[in-house]
């Protein structure tokens, strides 16, 4: 039975080959021995179109590949920054220093911040010196944290950082800080409109009007225009 099937398959293959050869022969006979100028023009145009399509496909493939690589690099860069921030002793210390004078969920005014920034010991005692130092450090910590989020906002605006990833991980923390410092930012921007301009724009985009903080008070309020 198997030999019969094999012979049948061979016969079919030979028949297909004969038909294919005849078809190719007919197609070949259609080509003129001496092509006309019209045919040459058509062949040239066809070859040009094929070349253009090949280049276009290659270019599109390169663009898509480059875009995918850039997206992957942007996410990896963003993750690296987030990990460094969470593991940074310096970042943790900044939050501790800030809370010593400007606890979370309390408004930071320009006057209070500036007073802390310029604080001097009331006397020569060690206690007075340490208190003045804590106030200085708290003021510095506030602007350092704001500067950090301004840096992230610039990275997002320039397309160097992944906004979706940052929003999912830092939105609440950043918006709480800006809400606490909105009056301070307003006064700083009166003096220089470009101060925290990227952070202010990002905050306006990310904030959720009507939000409440952990104490049930209004949160994520707009930065005053001044």
Mean pLDDT value of segment 152-181: 96
Query: What letter would DSSP give residue 218?
Result: E
d(C-alpha 171, C-alpha 134), whole Å: 28
Q: Are 226 and 203 in contact (CB under 8 A)?
A: no
- Banded model confidence at residue 210, pLDDT cuts 50, 70, 90: very high
Looking at the chain, the number of H-run helices and the number of E-run strands are: 8, 2
Instruction: For residue 100, give its domain range.
Output: 63-219
d(C-alpha 181, C-alpha 103), whole Å: 11
Whether 104 has a pLDDT exceeding 90, the answer reads yes
Q: State the pLDDT at residue 44.
A: 67
Residue 11 lies in a domain: no
For every residue of 168-198, DSSP letters joined together read: HHHHHHHHHHHHHTHHHHHHHHHH-TTTTHH
Whether 77 has a pLDDT exceeding 60, the answer reads yes
Whether 90 has a pLDDT exceeding 80, the answer reads yes
Q: State the pLDDT at residue 55.
A: 74
Counted domains in the chain: 1
Residue 55 lies in a domain: no
Residue 45 lies in a domain: no
Q: Are 103 and 125 in contact (CB under 8 A)?
A: no
Whether 34 has a pLDDT exceeding 80, the answer reads no
Give the closest residue to 178 by CA, choosing from 156, 155, 148: 148
Bigger pLDDT: 183 vs 34: 183
Residue 215 lies in a domain: yes
Bigger pLDDT: 111 vs 55: 111
- Banded model confidence at residue 61, pLDDT cuts 50, 70, 90: confident
Gap between the terminal Cα atoms of the chain: 96
Residue 58 lies in a domain: no
Q: State the pLDDT at residue 197.
A: 96
Residue 195 lies in a domain: yes
Bigger pLDDT: 135 vs 45: 135
d(C-alpha 6, C-alpha 206), whole Å: 72
Residue 102 lies in a domain: yes
For every residue of 143-171, DSSP letters joined together read: HHHHHHHHHHHHHHHTTSS-HHHHHHHHH
Q: State the pLDDT at residue 86.
A: 81
Q: pTM value?
A: 0.70
Mean pLDDT value of segment 69-88: 84
Residue 22 lies in a domain: no
């Amino acid at each position: 039975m198997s030999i019969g099937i094999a012979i049948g398959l061979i016969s079919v293959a030979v028949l297909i080959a004969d038909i294919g050869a005849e078809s190719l022969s007919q197609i070949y006979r259609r080509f003129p021995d001496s092509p006309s100028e019209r045919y040459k023009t058509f062949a040239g145009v066809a070859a040009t179109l094929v070349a253009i399509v090949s280049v276009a496909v290659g270019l599109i493939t390169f663009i898509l590949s480059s875009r995918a690589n850039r997206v992957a690099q942007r996410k990896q860069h963003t993750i690296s920054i987030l990990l460094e921030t969470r593991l940074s002793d310096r970042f943790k210390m900044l939050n501790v220093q800030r809370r010593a004078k400007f606890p979370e969920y309390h408004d930071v005014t320009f006057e209070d911040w500036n007073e802390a920034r310029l604080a001097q010991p009331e006397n020569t005692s060690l206690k007075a010196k340490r208190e003045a130092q804590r106030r200085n450090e708290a003021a510095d910590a506030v602007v350092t944290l704001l500067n950090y989020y301004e840096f992230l906002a610039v990275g997002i605006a320039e397309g160097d950082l992944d906004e979706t990833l940052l929003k999912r991980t830092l939105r609440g923390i950043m918006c709480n800080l800006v809400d606490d410092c909105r009056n301070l930012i307003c006064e700083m921007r009166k003096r220089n409109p470009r101060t925290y301009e990227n952070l202010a724009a990002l905050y306006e985009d990310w904030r959720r009007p009507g939000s409440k903080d952990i104490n049930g008070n209004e949160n994520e309020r707009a930065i005053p225009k001044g």
